Amino acid sequence: MKKNGVINPKLMEAITGLYHYDTIMIADLGFPVPKGVQVIDLSLVKGVPSFQQVMRALFNECVFDEVWIDENMAKWNKPLYQYVTESLPEQKINEVGFPELKELASKCKVIVKCGEFKPSANMILQSFSGGKASVEKFTVSFPPEFE
Protein backbone atom coordinates (compact mmCIF):
# COMPACT_ATOMS: atom_id res chain seq x y z
CA MET A 1 0.00 0.00 0.00
CA LYS A 2 1.31 3.45 -0.90
CA LYS A 3 2.35 5.52 2.07
CA ASN A 4 2.33 8.97 0.47
CA GLY A 5 1.45 10.80 -2.70
CA VAL A 6 -1.34 10.06 -5.15
CA ILE A 7 -3.54 7.22 -3.93
CA ASN A 8 -6.21 7.28 -6.65
CA PRO A 9 -5.43 4.07 -8.59
CA LYS A 10 -6.52 5.38 -12.01
CA LEU A 11 -4.53 8.58 -11.61
CA MET A 12 -1.47 6.70 -10.36
CA GLU A 13 -1.70 4.36 -13.36
CA ALA A 14 -1.88 7.34 -15.72
CA ILE A 15 1.10 9.01 -14.03
CA THR A 16 3.28 5.92 -14.22
CA GLY A 17 2.35 5.54 -17.89
CA LEU A 18 3.72 8.96 -18.85
CA TYR A 19 6.78 9.04 -21.09
CA HIS A 20 9.04 11.90 -22.14
CA TYR A 21 6.96 14.69 -23.71
CA ASP A 22 3.58 13.07 -22.99
CA THR A 23 0.93 15.53 -21.85
CA ILE A 24 -1.65 15.42 -19.10
CA MET A 25 -4.24 18.09 -18.39
CA ILE A 26 -5.79 19.48 -15.24
CA ALA A 27 -9.28 20.67 -16.21
CA ASP A 28 -11.97 22.57 -14.35
CA LEU A 29 -15.59 21.43 -14.14
CA GLY A 30 -16.62 23.22 -17.33
CA PHE A 31 -13.84 22.24 -19.70
CA PRO A 32 -15.22 20.41 -22.77
CA VAL A 33 -13.40 17.09 -22.89
CA PRO A 34 -12.47 16.06 -26.44
CA LYS A 35 -13.84 12.73 -27.64
CA GLY A 36 -11.43 9.84 -27.31
CA VAL A 37 -9.29 11.28 -24.50
CA GLN A 38 -9.20 9.34 -21.24
CA VAL A 39 -10.78 11.26 -18.35
CA ILE A 40 -10.14 10.78 -14.66
CA ASP A 41 -12.82 12.75 -12.85
CA LEU A 42 -11.71 13.56 -9.30
CA SER A 43 -14.48 16.11 -8.67
CA LEU A 44 -16.51 15.55 -5.53
CA VAL A 45 -18.35 18.83 -4.95
CA LYS A 46 -17.83 22.36 -6.26
CA GLY A 47 -14.24 23.33 -5.40
CA VAL A 48 -13.09 19.87 -4.24
CA PRO A 49 -10.45 19.02 -5.09
CA SER A 50 -9.16 22.43 -6.07
CA PHE A 51 -6.99 23.08 -9.10
CA GLN A 52 -4.08 23.84 -6.76
CA GLN A 53 -4.46 20.53 -4.91
CA VAL A 54 -4.43 18.53 -8.14
CA MET A 55 -1.53 20.57 -9.52
CA ARG A 56 0.48 19.98 -6.36
CA ALA A 57 -0.25 16.24 -6.38
CA LEU A 58 0.87 15.89 -10.00
CA PHE A 59 4.04 17.95 -9.58
CA ASN A 60 4.93 15.97 -6.43
CA GLU A 61 4.74 12.73 -8.43
CA CYS A 62 6.22 13.78 -11.80
CA VAL A 63 8.61 16.13 -13.51
CA PHE A 64 7.07 18.57 -15.98
CA ASP A 65 9.18 21.00 -17.98
CA GLU A 66 6.55 22.92 -19.90
CA VAL A 67 2.91 23.89 -19.40
CA TRP A 68 0.12 25.51 -21.40
CA ILE A 69 -2.58 27.70 -19.85
CA ASP A 70 -5.47 29.76 -21.22
CA GLU A 71 -4.24 33.27 -22.00
CA ASN A 72 -7.34 34.59 -20.20
CA MET A 73 -6.28 33.11 -16.85
CA ALA A 74 -4.39 36.33 -15.99
CA LYS A 75 -7.52 38.38 -16.68
CA TRP A 76 -10.32 36.16 -15.34
CA ASN A 77 -8.56 34.25 -12.56
CA LYS A 78 -5.69 36.41 -11.28
CA PRO A 79 -5.08 34.48 -8.03
CA LEU A 80 -4.68 31.19 -9.90
CA TYR A 81 -2.50 32.82 -12.56
CA GLN A 82 -0.26 34.19 -9.82
CA TYR A 83 -0.13 30.77 -8.11
CA VAL A 84 0.82 29.01 -11.35
CA THR A 85 3.44 31.52 -12.46
CA GLU A 86 5.06 31.84 -9.03
CA SER A 87 5.04 28.08 -8.40
CA LEU A 88 6.70 27.23 -11.72
CA PRO A 89 9.77 29.47 -12.04
CA GLU A 90 11.75 27.03 -14.21
CA GLN A 91 8.98 25.62 -16.38
CA LYS A 92 8.17 27.25 -19.70
CA ILE A 93 4.63 28.65 -19.38
CA ASN A 94 2.83 29.01 -22.71
CA GLU A 95 -0.25 31.23 -22.71
CA VAL A 96 -2.55 30.21 -25.57
CA GLY A 97 -6.07 31.00 -26.70
CA PHE A 98 -8.90 28.74 -25.61
CA PRO A 99 -9.36 27.18 -29.09
CA GLU A 100 -5.67 26.19 -29.13
CA LEU A 101 -5.92 24.84 -25.58
CA LYS A 102 -8.85 22.64 -26.66
CA GLU A 103 -6.83 21.40 -29.64
CA LEU A 104 -3.86 20.58 -27.41
CA ALA A 105 -6.23 18.82 -24.97
CA SER A 106 -7.29 16.46 -27.75
CA LYS A 107 -3.70 15.17 -27.85
CA CYS A 108 -3.34 14.64 -24.07
CA LYS A 109 -2.84 11.15 -22.73
CA VAL A 110 -5.33 11.89 -19.96
CA ILE A 111 -7.44 14.76 -18.64
CA VAL A 112 -7.83 15.03 -14.88
CA LYS A 113 -11.05 16.82 -13.94
CA CYS A 114 -10.98 18.63 -10.61
CA GLY A 115 -13.77 20.36 -8.73
CA GLU A 116 -12.54 23.85 -9.68
CA PHE A 117 -15.38 26.19 -10.58
CA LYS A 118 -13.44 29.40 -11.25
CA PRO A 119 -12.82 30.50 -14.86
CA SER A 120 -9.79 29.49 -16.93
CA ALA A 121 -8.59 26.87 -14.42
CA ASN A 122 -7.08 24.58 -17.05
CA MET A 123 -3.48 23.60 -17.64
CA ILE A 124 -1.67 21.10 -19.83
CA LEU A 125 1.58 19.68 -18.45
CA GLN A 126 4.35 18.10 -20.50
CA SER A 127 6.24 15.27 -18.81
CA PHE A 128 10.00 15.34 -18.76
CA SER A 129 12.74 12.85 -18.08
CA GLY A 130 16.42 13.35 -17.75
CA GLY A 131 19.40 13.22 -15.49
CA LYS A 132 19.45 14.25 -11.84
CA ALA A 133 20.41 17.86 -12.62
CA SER A 134 17.50 18.24 -15.05
CA VAL A 135 15.02 16.68 -12.63
CA GLU A 136 16.21 18.94 -9.81
CA LYS A 137 15.88 21.99 -12.07
CA PHE A 138 12.17 21.33 -12.61
CA THR A 139 11.33 20.35 -9.02
CA VAL A 140 8.60 22.59 -7.66
CA SER A 141 8.15 24.03 -4.17
CA PHE A 142 4.62 25.02 -3.24
CA PRO A 143 3.37 27.39 -0.53
CA PRO A 144 2.83 25.59 2.80
CA GLU A 145 -0.93 26.27 2.89
CA PHE A 146 -1.39 23.47 0.36
CA GLU A 147 0.52 20.76 2.26
pLDDT, one tens digit per residue, over 77-120 is: 999 999 999 999 999 999 999 999 999 999 999 999 999 999 99
Task: Give me the pLDDT at residue 146, please.
Answer: 45
Average pLDDT, the chain: 90
Over residues 118-141, the mean pLDDT reads: 79
Please tell me which residue in 8, 17, 20, 92 is annotated as part of the active site: 20
* Stated pTM of the model: 0.89
Q: What are the structural domain ranges in the chain?
A: 20-138
> Is 132 an annotated catalytic residue?
no
Give CA separation, 14 vs 23, 24, 108, in Å.
11, 9, 11
Tell me, which fold does domain 20-138 have in CATH? RbsD-like fold (3.40.1650)
Question: What separation, in Å, do the N-terminal and C-terminal C-alpha atoms of the chain show?
Answer: 21
Task: Give me the pLDDT at residue 10, please.
Answer: 96
Residues 23, 129 contacting (CB under 8 angstroms)? no
pLDDT over threshold 90, residue 1: no
pLDDT, one tens digit per residue, over 38-83 is: 999 999 999 999 999 999 999 999 999 999 999 999 999 999 999 9
